[in-house]
Amino acid sequence: MKFEITPGVDWVGKIDWELRKFHGEEYSTHRGSSYNAYLVRDEKTALIDTVWSPFAKEFVNNLDKEIDLNQIDYVIANHAEMDHSGALPLLMHRIPDKPVYCTANGLKSLKGHYHKDWNFQVVKTGDKLSLGKKELIFVEAMMLHWPDSMMEYLTGDAILFSNDAFGQHIATEHMFNDLVDQSELFEEATKYYANILTPFSPLVTKKINEVVAFNLPVNFICPSHGVIWRDNPLQIAQKYLQWAADYQENQISIIYDTMWDGTRMLAEHIARGIKQADDKVTVKLFNISRRDINDVVTEVFKSKAILLGSPTINKGILNAMSALIEMITGLKFKKKKAAAFGCYGWSGESVKILTDHLSKAGFEMIGDGFKAMWQPGDEALAQALAFGKDFAGKV
């Protein structure tokens, strides 16, 4: 499959309808994904990125039907992660002398992955590559989201090839932003930002402002996953600026795990207390062992405050909660408030453990949390409700 974006620029990637887990098991992709590669033809021809390794043969075969591979003058490798560089070994086997353009960090990561001495051409921000009437201007995008990440701007057609930035994990036959369901598109774009780009938010702001300062027209933003932004393409850059500014909605998320329903009952009474204190705030409850962790992380991203709950087991917490804590610690959320709660039988360490983890993860803790011994009875549930009310009043 290929399609034209504008005369002289074609999408030549792969739509992966089956993908449900990405980065190993790290990221859920309920709607599949795509690996976007682009062919830019002028007097010279440039191939921008490739596809994930399992589709390398299919990609090179399709490309071979589209163009004599020897007619490709330049290969651009924006990022070494295998979902974009995975077909390079097979492609470069066919055209071993063609130059491969990448950043200085790209040179390290591509060599580190493939151990090949391809004809690497290292570029930096502002370097230009003439294709004839048009030229590609390279923009290093370090830590968006890898040290090697790079974008380029195509003059004439005014296209920003942004690699992972502005992407979404969506498989669709309608590969433009104006042709897909808008709520699904922004749900996936938000999840992508929350789970991948949150730790790099200060760099997102800096890079977008740097690109905007060039004052160049932008007709298309072509990311390496999901749909191409052609209808008001800068809307996604505006969204990124909002998301990078310690984004939060008027939402409190209560995330818990439970063994015999005691901690669930606390969660539900805390939620009731929050709503009694503030009927405007959105309160959402998630049993972390029954929910997709990346979807829950997205809800943390949207929240102004979270409550984590776990019963105590073996002087610790339940393992689904441990996985969530690991993830939200790495994502370095800022300006969010939090508290912990949980049931216990004879020792009761879970609330302190959760409180310590949340504090280390950068959350502003509201109190020492709430715990209830054995199965919560009427008195404990009333206390949980009061705890929720008090929490709502402090966030």
Catalytic residue among 16, 83, 188, 268: 83
Determine, following the binding rule CB under 6 A, whether residue 230 of this chain makes contact with ligand FEO: no
**Cβ 34 vs Cβ 24: under 8 Å:** no
Q: How far is the CB of 163 from ligand FEO (least distance, A)?
A: 7
Q: How far is the CB of 194 from ligand FEO (least distance, A)?
A: 15
Nearest residue (CB) to ligand FEO, 224 versus 383: 224
Determine, following the binding rule CB under 6 A, whether residue 268 of this chain makes contact with ligand FEO: no
What string of DSSP letters covers 143-183? TSSSTT-EEEEETTTTEEEEETTT------S--BGGGS-HH
Nearest residue (CB) to ligand FEO, 145 versus 230: 145
Catalytic residue among 10, 81, 148, 152: 81
Determine, following the binding rule CB under 6 A, whether residue 16 of this chain makes contact with ligand FEO: no
Nearest residue to ligand FEO, scored by beta-carbon proximity: 81
Coil, helix or strand at residue 30: coil
Helix (H) or strand (E) holding 15: strand 14-16
Catalytic: 192? yes
Coil, helix or strand at residue 4: strand
Phi, psi of 240 (to 5 degrees): -60, -40
Catalytic: 83? yes
Nearest residue (CB) to ligand FEO, 79 versus 275: 79
Span 323-342, contacts to ligand FEO by CB under 6 A? none
Determine, following the binding rule CB under 6 A, whether residue 148 of this chain makes contact with ligand FEO: no
Rg, Å, the chain Cα set: 24
Whether the upstream peptide bond of residue 145 has omega within 30° of 0, thus cis, is: yes
**Cβ 31 vs Cβ 188: under 8 Å:** yes
Determine, following the binding rule CB under 6 A, whether residue 225 of this chain makes contact with ligand FEO: yes
Q: Is 345 exposed, middle or buried (0-12, 13-18, 19+ CB in 10 A)?
A: middle
Determine, following the binding rule CB under 6 A, whether residue 389 of this chain makes contact with ligand FEO: no
Nearest residue (CB) to ligand FEO, 81 versus 257: 81
Determine, following the binding rule CB under 6 A, whether residue 41 of this chain makes contact with ligand FEO: no
Catalytic: 169? no
Phi, psi of 222 (to 5 degrees): -110, 100
Determine, following the binding rule CB under 6 A, whether residue 191 of this chain makes contact with ligand FEO: no
Determine, following the binding rule CB under 6 A, whether residue 10 of this chain makes contact with ligand FEO: no
Determine, following the binding rule CB under 6 A, whether residue 49 of this chain makes contact with ligand FEO: no
- How far, in Å, are 178, 220, 228 from residue 185 at the CA level? 10, 16, 11
Give the helix ranges, DSSP H, for the chain: 56-66, 82-85, 88-94, 104-114, 182-192, 201-213, 234-244, 262-277, 293-302, 319-331, 350-360, 378-394
Determine, following the binding rule CB under 6 A, whether residue 81 of this chain makes contact with ligand FEO: yes
**Cβ 323 vs Cβ 293: under 8 Å:** yes
Query: Cα 325 from chain centroid?
Result: 17
Catalytic: 357? no
Contacts with ligand FEO: how many residues (CB under 6 A)?
Answer: 9
Determine, following the binding rule CB under 6 A, whether residue 84 of this chain makes contact with ligand FEO: yes
- Of 79-87, 152-160, 233-241, 315-323, the segment contacting ligand FEO by CB under 6 A is 79-87
Determine, following the binding rule CB under 6 A, whether residue 310 of this chain makes contact with ligand FEO: no
Catalytic residue among 145, 169, 269, 357: 145
Determine, following the binding rule CB under 6 A, whether residue 188 of this chain makes contact with ligand FEO: no
Determine, following the binding rule CB under 6 A, whether residue 164 of this chain makes contact with ligand FEO: yes
Contacts by residues 213-216 (CB-CB < 8 Å, ≥ 24 positions apart)? 214/153, 216/153, 216/158
Say how far apart CA 86 and CA 56 lie, in whole Å. 7
Nearest residue (CB) to ligand FEO, 192 versus 391: 192
Determine, following the binding rule CB under 6 A, whether residue 79 of this chain makes contact with ligand FEO: yes
Nearest residue (CB) to ligand FEO, 36 versus 350: 36
Residues serving a catalytic function are 23, 79, 81, 83, 145, 164, 192, 225
Binding site for ligand FEO (CB under 6 A): 79, 81, 83-84, 145-146, 164, 224-225
